[in-house]
Amino acid sequence: MPQEWLVYLQRFSWNSPIALALASSAIGSIVTLAWISARDMSDRRSLRRATALELASSLESYARTCRTMMHKAAWAAAVPAGSMSREAIRTVSIAAFAYPDRLRWDVLRRKAVSELREYPATVHATREYAEAYREFAEPTDLCALVEFESAKAAMAALALARTTRRRHGVATWKPGAKDSAIERELSDFIENAEEKRKASLHRRAESMTDRRADTPEFKQALSA
């Protein structure tokens, strides 16, 4: 049998109609498969950009919502004490966040998906902490906490949105005039809040030291 195939191949002419037809069919199949592969890759790339854009837009929208909640917390803290103040503070909270439904997560890179999915969980944990804080804290302290955590959540959302756009080839965000300085506003607020917090902790530590120094037990220890 192998010898018969060898004889047949020796007699086979590549210039024959059958050979030309087979070669043409093979080339056509290769070209078709290459075209389908290129088209699928292009479609997947377009879908990836569209998904990334939707995710980034959602994060940027949430950052604007957080800034609104910051202002709401500041306004509630400024309301004089009374029933109106209690009603205003009741509506002060860190905004919830969730991505749009029916997103094609499978077209994104695994690392990007992990970072993006982690953000809503972080927001949820912060919201739970603020709600627990509400039960024991003074109204003004609650407003300060909501204002500060909202600013941090907004900054994190904008940073994640910028990374998502850059990673998937989406155009950079061009905010309107109302939001043109949002990152600088958030950054300045967080920096000032951190400085005030450190100063408050320092004053509290000094006050505790002074109170201990005034106690009889401390004075007896010094005179012993």
Residue-wise pLDDT for 9-52, tens only, equals 445 555 556 555 555 565 655 655 554 554 445 555 778 888 99
Residue at 94 is within a domain = yes
Range of weakest confidence among 27-31, 35-39, 175-179, 214-218: 35-39
Given a contact cutoff of 8 angstroms between Cβ atoms, the answer to whether 72 and 91 are in contact is yes
The pLDDT value recorded for residue 172 is 85
Q: How many CA atoms lie within 13 A of 15 on its CB side?
A: 0
pLDDT greater than 90 at residue 64: yes
The pLDDT value recorded for residue 211 is 58
What is the C-alpha end-to-end distance of the chain, expressed in Å?
A: 113
Could you tell me where the beta strands, DSSP code E, fall in 16-69?
none
Instruction: Kindly report the average pLDDT of the chain as a whole number.
Output: 78
The pLDDT value recorded for residue 35 is 46
Residue at 109 is within a domain = yes
Residue at 68 is within a domain = yes
The pLDDT value recorded for residue 9 is 47
| Domains contained in the chain, number | 1
pLDDT greater than 90 at residue 57: yes
Q: Helices marked H in 12-94 — which ranges? A: 17-78, 83-90
Averaged pLDDT for residues 159-177: 86
The pLDDT value recorded for residue 206 is 65
Q: Which domain holds residue 65?
A: 49-180
Residues 6+ apart with CB under 8 A from 44: 107
Q: Which of 63-67, 170-174, 185-189 has the highest mean pLDDT?
A: 63-67
Residue at 5 is within a domain = no
Structure-block tokens of residue 121: 């969980």
pLDDT level of residue 192 (50, 70, 90 thresholds): confident
Instruction: Quote the CA–CA distance of 86 and 76 in Å, as a whole number.
Output: 9
Instruction: Quote the CA–CA distance of 130 and 11 in Å, as a whole number.
Output: 86
Averaged pLDDT for residues 203-212: 62
Residue at 92 is within a domain = yes
Residue at 209 is within a domain = no
Reported as a single tens digit per residue, the pLDDT across 86-134 is 777 788 899 999 999 888 888 888 888 899 999 999 999 999 999 998 8
Residue at 118 is within a domain = yes
Residue at 207 is within a domain = no
